[in-house]
Amino acid sequence: MIGNILLLSMREIRRNVLRSILTTLGIVIGVAAVIVVVTLGAGTKAQVQTEISKLGSTMLTVFPGQRRMRGAAQSAPPFEIDDVYALRRETVMLSSVAPMSIQRQMVVYGNGNRRSQVVGTDREFVNVRNWGLAAGRLFSAAEEQTGKSVCIIGQTVKTELFKDDPYLGNVLRIGKASCEVIGLLEPKGQVMFSGDQDDVVVVPIKYFQRRIAGNTNVDQIYVSALDDSLVEAAQAEVEVIMRERRPSQPGADELFSVRGVQEMSTAFQSSTTVMTGFLTAIAAISLLVGGIGIMNIMLVSVTERTREIGIRMAIGAREKEVLLQFLVEAAMLAGFGGLVGIVIGLGGAMALAPLLNVPFILQPDMMIMAFIFSALVGVVFGYMPARSAARLDPIDALRHE
Amino acid sequence: MAEKDLATETYDGPVVSFEHVAKVYGDGEMAVRALDDVSFDIDPGEFVAVMGSSGSGKSTTMNILGCLDTPTRGRYLFKGVDVKTLTRDQRALLRRHYLGFVFQGFNLLSRTTALENLELPLIYRRISKADRRELAMQALHAVGLENREHHTAAELSGGQQQRVAIARAMVTSPSLLLADEPTGNLDTARSQEIMELLAQLNSEDGLTIVLVTHEEEMAAFARRRLEFRDGNIVHESRSEAA
């Protein structure tokens, strides 16, 4: 029987192409909105993952003392360079370890100046951050040991200060000190929650301690695990060594902490989830409105088709066959609207993705869900009109003008 | 339930019988007595004209004959089955398998081809696609419209539309064909053709036909005549048709 009902419904939809298209418009728009939102949402998430891997997904940061969200006093003593050497010496899960001392400083070249991030570290920096050189060279071992006044600059510093001047071999002033530019880092780009990565000047840690910070501290230590899967093991290894080197009173906070890049982005991830949920709710409302649109037009169409229903009943259609036909019509219309909406939504997402600078990622399961849901909307909202059609009295229906 | 079990194929009594049928619409002071006390039988192969002015009860008779309505009192037997004992769905099945309707207003599905209109009762009967096509083409041939199968109702003249409607009513080989003022919307020449077609279906194929009309010339095609007035049969006559 269902095959016949499908045939009858299909003929009915074909009989009224324009009305069918208008009926289903609400669903088309609703589904298209859902698909755009979900696809772009997935793109944004993937984008964040990419940002994380730009920072280095295997990277861990070791801080002295506990890092609290709101500036609790840091009573723990700072790291020294020996801590870096100890980590290099005693770990097996780490591919590289680099000291990191960071300050914002005024950097000056010629008439130009800007406040840039000045980083004191050593050669391992490029390995930890997975960051290559675009030109020049790294610090030599001798330069690191003596704290020679040499520096490697980021792309932003180069374009903003040196402009078209040759930069290699030129002298850059950092605060009251100065250094010779020996290298240029590759562009790293914006990272969503860390600002411009390329606005940076890298100097040997010893030079940083003596000429900029005026101490022998190492603010943080960056370490990199050998592999994505070893991050946790590497963290445990670092913790064992640091616990030994910086014993704390029993019951008190430990005098160091280790954090992954992953954790830093958790907050951002959850905010995108909230945003996606919010937009999805709006899309769901538009689907609901689309469903009501279908119900509205189906109700009108029952009145308009009263005579046709009378003919069908006179010919021998049973109540449930009339009911089923109207239900199937509504479901087919809504399902078809869902398909069109999916296509339009994908087109829209494909067009918007480059504008929002996020990758276009197909969401097949969401597409299937949107389709099933729209057909379901058709059944739910088609039920009332279908029932009123099925309950018509054939005599009255045949007399209807 | 096998759909056809409603009325047995081996039954050989009258196709339909009215036994003291009365029909009252509404109740109390507003009650309208459409049929008072009507009894008649119609045998297989008959061609009966039901005549009367408007309000005489002929439309009510038609609705009861077509199992679209049931009597208030008395019994209406369709092939020996008391229709009043049937459910709404069972009456629909009875129409599907044993009845054909021809209306004054043709009542074809608009924007639907002649062929698809003819297929409609066959689809409800769940006849396979190939058989459906063949039966529909045969019926179109019988009414002389074999070249019009892909025309929609709007592309056919009134006479042609009524022919399609007749083809639709007879495509299922019904036990009874009910024609309600089939020539009411047609000019004299077209009316004549339609009546000739019905008479031919009756005499050649043995199709049992009940024709409702108020026109003398149309009733003349029938071989038996029931005249209604105020809910009763006031005159009955038989003749050999022209």
State which of A12-26, A39-53, A311-325 shows the largest mean pLDDT. Answer: A311-325
In this model, does residue A1 exceed pLDDT 80?
no
3-state secondary structure chain A: CHHHHHHHHHHHHHHCHHHHHHHHHHHHHHHHHHHHHHHHHHHHHHHHHHHHHHHCCCEEEEEECCCCCCCCCCCCCCECHHHHHHHHHHCCCEEEEEEEEEEEEEEEECCEEEEEEEEEECCHHHHHCCCCEEEECCCCHHHHHHCCCEEEECHHHHHHHHCCCCCCCCEEEECCEEEEEEEEECCCCEECCCEECCCEEEEEHHHHHHHHHCCCCECEEEEEECCHHHHHHHHHHHHHHHHHHCCCCCCCCCCEEEEEHHHHHHHHHHHHHHHHHHHHHHHHHHHHHHHHHHHHHHHHHHHHCHHHHHHHHHHCCCHHHHHHHHHHHHHHHHHHHHHHHHHHHHHHHHHHHHHHCCCCCCCHHHHHHHHHHHHHHHHHHHHHHHHHHHCCCHHHHHHCC
Q: Which residue of A has its CA nearest to B123?
A: A4
Q: From the centroid of its chain, how far is CA B91?
A: 15
For residue B206, the 8-state DSSP code is: -
Going by C-alpha positions, the residue among A345, A397, A350 that lies closest to residue A31 is A345
Q: Tell me how many residue pairs between chain A and chain B have CB atoms under 8 A apart.
A: 66
Say how far apart CA B16 and CA B18 lie, in whole Å: 7
Pair (A164, A28) in one structural domain: no
CB contact under 8 A, B96 and A316: yes
pLDDT score of A55: 65
pLDDT score of B9: 59
Q: Are A358 and A47 in contact (CB under 8 A)?
A: yes
In this model, does residue B1 exceed pLDDT 50?
no
| Residue A189 half-sphere exposure toward CB, CA atoms < 13 A | 9
Say how far apart CA B170 and CA B136 lie, in whole Å: 10
For residue B31, the 8-state DSSP code is: -
Q: Are B64 and B70 in contact (CB under 8 A)?
A: yes
With tokens 């056809």, the residue in question is B4
Say how far apart CA B153 and CA B137 lie, in whole Å: 16
Q: Are A331 and A382 in contact (CB under 8 A)?
A: yes
Closest-CA distance of chain A to residue B130, Å: 14
Pair (A202, A82) in one structural domain: yes
pLDDT in tens, B170-223: 999 999 999 999 998 899 999 999 999 999 999 999 999 999 998 899 999 999
**Of residues B37 and A5, more confidently modeled:** B37
Closest-CA distance of chain B to residue A304, Å: 12
Is A10 part of the contact surface with chain B (CB cutoff 8 Å)?
no
pLDDT in tens, B69-123: 999 999 999 999 999 999 999 999 999 999 999 999 889 988 889 999 999 999 9
Going by C-alpha positions, the residue among B51, B79, B65 that lies closest to residue B23 is B65
Pair (A226, A106) in one structural domain: yes
Q: Which residues in chain B are closer than 8 Å to A394, comparing Cβ atoms?
A: 68
In a domain, A14, yes or no: yes
Q: Which residues in chain B are closer than 8 Å to A319, comparing Cβ atoms?
A: 88-89, 92
In this model, does residue A316 exceed pLDDT 50?
yes
CB contact under 8 A, B107 and A307: yes
In a domain, A70, yes or no: no
Q: Which residues in chain B are closer than 8 Å to A314, comparing Cβ atoms?
A: 66, 68, 95, 101, 107
- Which domain-ending residue is among A245, A275, A297? A245
- Which domain-ending residue is among A192, A216, A245? A245
Closest-CA distance of chain A to residue B239, Å: 31
CB contact under 8 A, B107 and A311: yes
In a domain, A58, yes or no: no
User: How confident is the model over A48-75, as a mean pLDDT?
Assistant: 70
Say how far apart CA A110 and CA B157 lie, in whole Å: 95
Is A321 part of the contact surface with chain B (CB cutoff 8 Å)?
yes
Pair (A233, A273) in one structural domain: no
CB contact under 8 A, B120 and A312: yes
CB contact under 8 A, B168 and A315: yes
Say how far apart CA A255 and CA A247 lie, in whole Å: 7
CB contact under 8 A, A15 and B111: yes
In a domain, A73, yes or no: no
Closest-CA distance of chain B to residue A268, Å: 58
Pair (A95, A163) in one structural domain: yes
Say how far apart CA A233 and CA B224 lie, in whole Å: 103
Interface test with A, best of B23, B63, B65, B107 (most A CBs within 10 A): B107
In this model, does residue A268 exceed pLDDT 70?
no
pLDDT score of A260: 79
User: CA dist A47 to A29, A306, B197, Å?
Assistant: 27, 55, 77
Q: Are A330 and A381 in contact (CB under 8 A)?
A: yes
**Of residues A83 and A54, more confidently modeled:** A83
End-to-end CA distance of chain B: 44
CB contact under 8 A, B112 and A11: yes
Mean pLDDT, chain A, rounded, equals: 86
- Which domain-ending residue is among A245, A280, A311? A245
In this model, does residue A9 exceed pLDDT 70?
yes
pLDDT score of A41: 83
Q: Which residue of B has its CA nearest to A305?
A: B109
In this model, does residue A72 exceed pLDDT 60?
no
In this model, does residue A341 exceed pLDDT 50?
yes
The H or E element containing residue B205 is: helix B188-205
In this model, does residue A101 exceed pLDDT 80?
yes
**Cα Rg of chain B, angstroms:** 18
Phi-psi region of B189 (alpha: psi -120 to 50; beta: other; left: phi over 0): alpha
| Residue A249 half-sphere exposure toward CB, CA atoms < 13 A | 3
Of residues A7, A395, A398, nearest to B107 (C-beta):
A398
Pair (A131, A239) in one structural domain: yes
The H or E element containing residue B91 is: helix B88-98
Q: Are A341 and A335 in contact (CB under 8 A)?
A: no
Phi-psi region of A70 (alpha: psi -120 to 50; beta: other; left: phi over 0): beta
In a domain, A135, yes or no: yes
Q: Is A73 exposed, middle or buried (0-12, 13-18, 19+ CB in 10 A)?
A: exposed
Q: Which residue of A has its CA nearest to B127?
A: A4
pLDDT in tens, B50-76: 999 888 999 899 999 999 999 999 999
Pair (A199, A274) in one structural domain: no
CB contact under 8 A, B103 and A398: yes
pLDDT in tens, A358-384: 889 888 888 898 899 888 888 888 899
Closest-CA distance of chain A to residue B96, Å: 4
pLDDT band at A56 (very low <50, low <70, confident <90, very high): low
User: CA dist B52 to A347, B40, B73, B198, B232, Å?
Assistant: 67, 16, 22, 20, 10
CB contact under 8 A, A4 and B123: yes
**Of residues B79 and A271, more confidently modeled:** B79
For residue B44, the 8-state DSSP code is: T
**Of residues B196 and A269, more confidently modeled:** B196
pLDDT score of A67: 66
pLDDT band at A294 (very low <50, low <70, confident <90, very high): confident
Sorted by where each starts, the structural domains of chain B and their CATH numbers stand as 12-238 (3.40.50.300)
Question: What's the token pair of residue A374?
Answer: 């729209």
Question: What's the token pair of residue B75?
Answer: 């019994």
pLDDT score of B242: 47
CB contact under 8 A, B63 and A395: yes
Say how far apart CA B164 and CA B107 lie, in whole Å: 10
pLDDT score of A190: 67
Residue type, A261: V
Q: Which residues in chain A are closer than 8 Å to B123, comparing Cβ atoms?
A: 4, 7-8
Pair (A241, A270) in one structural domain: no
| Residue A252 half-sphere exposure toward CB, CA atoms < 13 A | 12
pLDDT score of B78: 94
With tokens 């009108």, the residue in question is A300
Is A19 part of the contact surface with chain B (CB cutoff 8 Å)?
no
pLDDT score of A263: 66
Counting the structural domains of chain A, the total is: 2
In this model, does residue A195 exceed pLDDT 80?
no
Q: Which residues in chain B are closer than 8 Å to A313, comparing Cβ atoms?
A: 68, 92, 95
User: Poorest-confidence range of A25-39, A50-64, B80-94, B155-169?
Assistant: A50-64
Domain containing A324 equals 2-51+266-399
For residue B85, the 8-state DSSP code is: G
The H or E element containing residue B40 is: strand B32-42
Q: Which residues in chain A are closer than 8 Å to B89, comparing Cβ atoms?
A: 318-320
Q: Which residues in chain B are closer than 8 Å to A7, comparing Cβ atoms?
A: 123
Pair (A198, A309) in one structural domain: no
Describe chain B by its helix, strand, coil percentages, rounded to 5. 40, 25, 35
Pair (A193, A309) in one structural domain: no
pLDDT score of A266: 66
Pair (A37, A93) in one structural domain: no
In a domain, A68, yes or no: no
Closest-CA distance of chain A to residue B85, Å: 17
SS3 B136: helix
Q: Are B231 and B33 in contact (CB under 8 A)?
A: yes
In this model, does residue A173 exceed pLDDT 90?
yes
In a domain, A254, yes or no: no
Going by C-alpha positions, the residue among B43, B38, B88, B85 that lies closest to residue B60 is B38
Interface of B with A (CB under 8 A): 63, 66, 68-69, 88-89, 92-97, 99, 101, 103, 107-112, 116, 120-121, 123-126, 168
CB contact under 8 A, B120 and A316: no
Pair (A238, A275) in one structural domain: no
Say how far apart CA B235 and CA B87 lie, in whole Å: 33
User: Poorest-confidence range of A2-6, A54-58, A395-399, B206-210?
Assistant: A54-58
Is A6 part of the contact surface with chain B (CB cutoff 8 Å)?
no
Q: Is A274 exposed, middle or buried (0-12, 13-18, 19+ CB in 10 A)?
A: exposed
In a domain, A56, yes or no: no
Interface test with B, best of A315, A324, A393 (most B CBs within 10 A): A315
